[in-house]
Amino acid sequence: MARTLSNMMPLGTKAPGFSLPDTISGKQLSLDDLKSGQATVIMFICNHCPFVKHVDEGIVSLVSDYKAKGVSFIAISSNDVENYPQDAPHLMKIEAEKVGYDFPYLYDETQEVAKAYDAACTPDFYIFDGELKCVYRGQLDDSRPGNGKLVTGADIRNALEEILAGKEVSAQQIPSLGCNIKWKG
């Protein structure tokens, strides 16, 4: 597992549009279908990454706390499933049901969406405001496998609280750290 940091998309960048299959519902879903007028959280994750597995419960808790406040959550897996078959779409659905994902888990087979977002690792988190401008990119919190820190989601929770209060999100943001996205070729 290569420990990889987020590329940190420039703040203010407009969210690139996409339309991808949702492995849970079987429907083709677009950013326009899923975005929120409040805030939209986009997460690049996958099934097998130990960094994602470490924060799974924290993600589920975060979604539970903020979905009712009008925040939209979207997960995307862009890994090469030929070389990493444990990330295949049919297994994504099983993983989502097992963990309790209450949000779409989309499959980016061409990896074009990951490239458009300059995603680098799993997990990689982005928050876009009601106008789909990037206001946060970085870590869920400072917990990592083996570092003994609790998964709280503090960094994303703080950013969402600022957005929901109509405040500007602090530009002091720490990159996420995880496994590199498994690129094709």
For 26, 51, 76, 91, the CA distances from 128, given in Å and listed in that order, are 25, 23, 15, 28
Tell me the domain boundaries of the chain.
3-180
- The pLDDT mean for the chain works out to 95
Yes or no: say if 82 and 115 are a contact pair by the CB < 8 Å rule. no
Percent of the chain whose pLDDT exceeds 70: 99
Beta carbons of 123 and 3 less than 8 angstroms apart: no
Q: In the CATH scheme, what is the code of domain 3-180? A: 3.40.30.10
Contact assessment for residue 38 and residue 69, using Cβ atoms and an 8 Å cutoff: yes
pLDDT tens-digit profile of 121-130? Answer: 999 999 999 9
Q: Give the tens place of pLDDT for each residue, 80-121.
A: 999 999 999 999 999 999 999 999 999 999 999 999 999 999
Q: Which of 100, 99, 119 is nearest to 108 (CA)?
A: 119
Structure tokens given for 61: 């808790």
Q: What is the pLDDT of residues 136-182, one digit of tens each?
A: 999 999 989 888 899 999 999 999 999 999 999 999 999 999 999 99
Instruction: Give the residue-averaged pLDDT of 1-7.
Output: 79
Q: How far from each other are the two terminal CA atoms of the chain, in whole angstroms?
A: 17
Strand 3-5 and strand 124-129: the pairing is unpaired
